[in-house]
A and B are shown apart, each in its own frame.
Chain A
Amino acid sequence: MLEVRALTKCFGALRACDGIDFDVREGETHAVIGPNGAGKTTFISQLAGMLRPDSGRISFAGEDITSLPAPKRARKGLARSFQITSVYPEFSALDNVALAVQAHSGHSFRFWRTARGDPALVEPAERVLEDVGLLQRKTILAANLAHGEQRQLEVAMALATEPRLLLLDEPMAGMGIEESQRMIALLSRLKQRKTIILVEHDMDAVFRLADRISVLVYGRVIATDSPEKIKLNEEVRKAYLGEDL
């Protein structure tokens, strides 16, 4: 479904991504792990189209998308969530998700009819909110939601665009144990019906959710394999020296 070949991105002398090859199969949950500074966020940003790679190729569902800007990728079905919560703080949870629904319901050069209360937007948005467990909080401004709820909203907005591939950048970032458990439960339901790329530091979550894991170290993929085999991989253990896999 997604195919990355020899992806390279440098910031000055730093090779943040150094010839990455990476594949995602239809239906799988593919985790990307790696120590801090391994280039995970740089990698994800290039997949989502927020950063232009220096060289290499990204194709999605058989189509070369390397030079496609982010909004076009999103409309093709590649949705992302952000590591640092990025929602519309002055809008209600429902508005946030309804906007994501609107983004993939044709153009928005409709100047007159009120968007709030348009069932074509509100109904799908409410379904997604129910899905992630935020329906009771729909009227709350995103800025006033708890951190864990904002993370759920992040995922809801990505989901509402009905993506074919979901790019989740550290969905557990900054969460307490209880919130993390709720997020893991949500993601394990999602993985039944979605193809997911999961970038995550929380190893517990990664090993519970991932079908395959790619390990990124110094901008290179040093291993891609099933969770069991990754656990036993020597090179990976070295990269995570001192950390318990």
Chain B
Amino acid sequence: MLSKRIFLWIFFVALLAALPPFVLAIGQPFYLDLVRRIMILAIAAISLNLILGYGGLVSFGHAAYLGIGAYTVGIMGFYGLTSGWLQWPVAIGASALVALAIGAVSIRTSGIYFIMITLAFTQMLYYLGISIAEFGGDDGMRLKSRSQFPGLIDLGDPVAFYYVALGLMLLSVFVVFKIVNSRFGMVLRASKSNEARSRAIGFSPYPYRLAAFVIAGAMCGLAGALYANHTNYITPGLMSWQQSGDIMFMVILGGMATTAGPVLGAFVLLLVEDQLAGWTQHWQVIFGPLLVLSVIFFRRGLAGIFTKPDA
């Protein structure tokens, strides 16, 4: 099974790597932009999968870290700090800190309360984004310049930026894969499977869950920093509950607690959305039922088509 999985991954990565020269050759650079956006949001989905899929923590506020990451880049740029070497680590660190604060409170609850608390915190950040006029308020803020990596890479070059996003997406997949198979990951997954049993053999799930929550927040913060550079424009909408729902849906559609699931989910969700939006203005009318059907028929997500169940 493993070799088939690796083969599929190599095929998929080769496809993505070959895309830029291909779309430029046929004169459709628009697709470069689309796929780059998908890969960036896939990083957010990969990070959510760590806590939602493997940890059983149904966070309905994951877009918060997308927003924190993006606004960090925007605000630092606003004050003239445009170095990516500075912006990105700060974006990751700030997201981790916010995740620590939100997680420390919300992980003490469970079930519906956890969902509601994570949602509430993110709504607070959303309204904070709306209310600060200096950084654009409701209208959002334009990035003065993209993050600067002098001598290394120019994010203004769409192809270079595309490969940065691809590289970081694959790195995220690998990092989460390593984490969930480590001792730490086993505790996280076991505590999702049977919390009473974990406590009985001597694990306190709380610190492990909190650590996973912080890692997921940090990773999503990186996605936010990328997203700000991608759109060149940051709005509070990035932290809206619809955005959180989108990320969550990518994970569920693709397959929770699977390595490839969130990536598959991000690609399928956003490509279908893009196609339907091209046909009709009322694309959501078709999109909604499609999502419902996909959840009914692919219980274990799209990744379940390729793989057997795994603990």
Binding site for B on A (CB under 8 A): 48, 50, 69-72, 74-75, 79-80, 82, 86-92, 95, 98-100, 102-104, 108-116, 118, 121, 141, 157-158, 160-161
Contacts and interface: CB of A to CB of B under 8 A. Distances in A.
Nearest to A113: B182
A129 to B, nearest CB: 15
A58 B179 CA distance: 39
Which 6 A-B pairs give the minimum distances between C-beta atoms? Answer: A74-B202, A103-B202, A103-B201, A90-B311, A71-B204, A110-B183
A114 B182 contact: yes
B182 A74 contact: no
Contact of A100 (B201, B207, B211): B201
Given A100-B201, A113-B182, A115-B186, A92 B311 contact: yes
A80 B194 CA distance: 15
B197 A111 contact: no
B233 interface: no
A74 B200 contact: yes
B185 interface: yes
Interface of B: 178-179, 181-187, 189-190, 193-194, 196-204, 207-208, 211, 309, 311
B183 A88 contact: no
Given A69-B204, A71-B203, A111 B179 contact: yes
B181 A109 contact: no
Contact of A95 (B179, B186, B198): B186
Contact of A86 (B185, B196, B202): B196
Contacts of B208: 108-109
Given A50-B196, A86-B196, A89-B193, A79 B186 contact: no
B311 A91 contact: yes
A114 B200 contact: no
A99 to B, nearest CB: 5
A116 B204 CA distance: 21
B199 A108 contact: no
A86 B194 CA distance: 7
Given A91-B193, A157-B197, A103 B185 contact: no
Given A50-B196, A95-B311, A111-B178, A161 B184 contact: no
Nearest to B185: A115
Contact of A110 (B182, B189, B196, B207): B182
A108 B201 contact: no
A142 to B, nearest CB: 9
A103 B203 contact: yes
Contact of A80 (B182, B200, B204, B207): B200
A61 to B, nearest CB: 16
Given A71-B204, A88-B194, A109 B184 contact: yes
B261 to A, nearest CB: 16
Nearest to B194: A88
Contacts of B203: 71, 103, 108
Of listed A98, A116, A160, residue having the most chain B CB within 10 A: A116
